[in-house]
Structures are given as C-alpha cells and as structure tokens.
Homo-oligomer: A and B are copies of this chain.
C-alpha cells in the first residue's frame, strides 16, 4: 500500500478566495507521480488555533504532509509558531539560514529589514530546506506518524524547493512504487468521440484509464502500476494511438513529441528551419501571441473581417471569393517577407454571430507550404473567447499535421 500524503495550505489570501490554491493541485500531481496516495487538502487563514488544530490532526492521520505558506517575515506569518505549539518544538536561531538571507539582500543591494530575522528561527531538530530564490527557508520534521515539509507559498519558490530538495528526500524516506503515466494529448476531437473510438479496446484490470478535457485539448491518460509487463504496455499504447490517429499531437511519457501544442510546433519549426507569417481573423492575434519566445514567426496580421479587406482593395474583387483573396495575400506575404510557410484564416460571418454563444462560425484555413496550398474548414462554437482560442489552436494544428511525421509513436 502506498503511503498517504496530505496538502496543507495556509494564508488569508487562500481562505478568502483572493488567490486560487494552485499549489495544492501542483503538489498533488507531483506526489502522485512519485507514488503517494493523496488523501486530503486543507487550508486555513492566519489563525494560530486553526493552524495548531490542523497540524495535530494531520500528525495522527497522514504518513507525509506538505505545507505551504506562513513562512514570511510579518506578524501574520504564523507557521513556525504553530509548529512550536502543536508539537512542543521550541524555535532556535539558525545561523546559516540567517547568513543566506543576508547574502540574498546584499546581492540585491538592499538592506535586510530587522523583521526578516524571524525567518531564521526554525523548530529545534528540524531539517532546514534552502531557498535559493527567496528569503524564507523551509524546514522538515517528523512528528508522530507524519513527516512534515514546510515550504513558502510563493509558487516559483515552492516549486524550485520541491524539485531540488523535497523530491529526492521523499524518494529516500519512503518506499514508493511510482506508477507510469502515459498521456495522449489530442486536438480537434471531443471526449465522447474519443470514448466511442476506444471502447472496443480491452484494458487489463490494473491499468487506470482517465480523461481530461480543458479549453486547449482533450487528454487520454493511461496509468500503469509499477511492474506492469512491458510488451503489454507497448501494445496498449500502440492500439490507443491507432484509434485516435492524427488527432494526437503529443504523447507525454512516451514520444519525443511531448508537451502542449505550441511546444510541439516550436520543435518542428526549429528542426526544419521553417519561417512563418500569419493572417488571422477569428483568433484576433491569439495565434501570434501563443508563439511568444519563438523567432520563427516573422509577421502576423489581424483583420476584423476579410470582407473589410476586400472592400478596401483598389480593384474590387468578388466579395464571395475570399479564398482567392486569401491565396493572393499568402503568395504576396511569402515573397515579401521570405518565409516558406503562410497560414491564413478566413471567415465570412459577421460580428454579431461571432460573439453569440449559441452561434457556430465556419472558419476556412489555408496553409501555403512552399508552392502548395492545404485547405481545411473548422467549426467554432461557444463564447467569443472560446471561438478565438479554438481558432488559434486549430490553425496551429493544421501546421503541426503538415510538419509532423505520419507516426509519432
């Protein structure tokens, strides 16, 4: 049986709902991947009695607990004090922690406020967890059944400390049997459609099948227990991939093609030394915006409607012949900028339809790849924001399917 782990978050900003507790979700995913059994999330505000009560309960209930928040320098940061009261562990000045804080301020040319001295007071007998990107050190200690880890609530600091220090410590302290997670990441296909396609497959009893749909993609997750035979695993991955086909743009935990759609496209663009220009309508700049940090996108142009564009032309073109206008534009851009790839979105519906939650928009996409055009039609539904996001992703996916090898398995 895997050891139990709980997550405990502290802070008024969490309990009042001003901050959504993304730390709890992130830590849960990390801990499950390590092989823990996640049993509970708790959060309280800056109230010493609540903190002490929760810590005492967890000490009886869990094998491990990761706590975030409450390590700052101000008077409402109470975690260390709560540990003292709950577990009768007095606080002790940690000279090295204090020195690290002094260095932190010195390298930033700032004076260290006196209040920060408090952060160097750690429970006696606890293990200090260094914080390389902030002032608050963390600490870890065993009390009764539970090994407690205390980390700051700032997500970037918390994640770095978890990955650098806590992850290896957990692997050493607990006998963990990590299961293997393989995630098929798909686009352009709904969850029920996916279930229909794979319902004929037989999954051996210990394999857990899961689905996750969000605004950007639908994921199919296969969780294999430790020690699951390799040939069976391979066969199952191959048969799921066969059923889902080209909708799969990445397979995390299996394929070189991994990560979200933008990072898959980024790798393909870089390895092929491609350059891209884009004409957006429905996605209104979002396609370009998603590619930030990549230097293969040279230009992007948004027109509220291709119709506007047609009307402005010196020699009027048949308003219905938007595809012809699109193709002409693509060739022009290709030549003037010197890119091999041009993506164009064309839609002829009006603004009222676009912002109407209940109306569906038809978007015509063109990809000019050297001298050849690929054309595809996509349907966009839902709110304006959802249509925009779908338009950006489906257009990028047209590019992905034209650059990616036939099989990514």
Which residues in chain A, 296-338, are within 8 Å of chain B measured between CB atoms?
297-304, 308, 312, 336-337
A212 touches which of B18, B29, B280 (Cβ 8 Å): B18
A288 vs B280: C-alpha distance when bound (angstroms): 11
Which of A20-28, A123-131, A234-242 lines the interface with chain B?
A20-28
Which residues in chain A, 15-71, are within 8 Å of chain B measured between CB atoms?
15-22, 24-30, 32, 38-45, 47, 50, 54
Q: Is A285 touching B289 in the complex (CB atoms < 8 A)? A: yes
A384 at the interface (CB under 8 A from B): yes
Q: Is A285 touching B300 in the complex (CB atoms < 8 A)? A: yes
Residues of B within 8 A of A212 (CB): 13, 18-19
Could you tell me the distance in whole angstroms from the C-beta of A23 to the nearest C-beta in chain B? 10
Residues of B within 8 A of A20 (CB): 20-22, 24-25
A385 at the interface (CB under 8 A from B): yes
Question: With A21-B24, A285-B286, A336-B312 in contact, is A15–B41 under 8 Å at CB?
Answer: yes
A388 at the interface (CB under 8 A from B): yes
Residue among A283, A288, A292, A355 with the most chain B CB within 10 A?
A292
A254 vs B244: C-alpha distance when bound (angstroms): 53
Question: With A21-B21, A284-B288, A289-B289 in contact, is A15–B39 under 8 Å at CB?
Answer: yes
Interface size class of A (residues with CB under 8 A): 35 or more
Question: With A17-B24, A284-B288 in contact, is A39–B32 under 8 Å at CB?
Answer: no
Q: Is B40 touching A40 in the complex (CB atoms < 8 A)? A: no
A293 at the interface (CB under 8 A from B): yes
A308 vs B333: C-alpha distance when bound (angstroms): 14
Residues of B within 8 A of A26 (CB): 17
A404 vs B212: C-alpha distance when bound (angstroms): 43
Residues of B within 8 A of A41 (CB): 9, 14-15, 21, 41-44
Could you tell me the distance in whole angstroms from the C-beta of A367 to the nearest C-beta in chain B? 18
Q: Is A42 touching B42 in the complex (CB atoms < 8 A)? A: yes
Q: Is B298 touching A300 in the complex (CB atoms < 8 A)? A: no
4 closest residue pairs by CB, A with B: A285-B288, A17-B28, A285-B285, A17-B25
Q: With A20-B21, A285-B288, A301-B302 given, can you name 5 additional A-B contacts, CB distance below 8 Å?
A: A16-B32, A17-B32, A285-B300, A286-B286, A298-B308
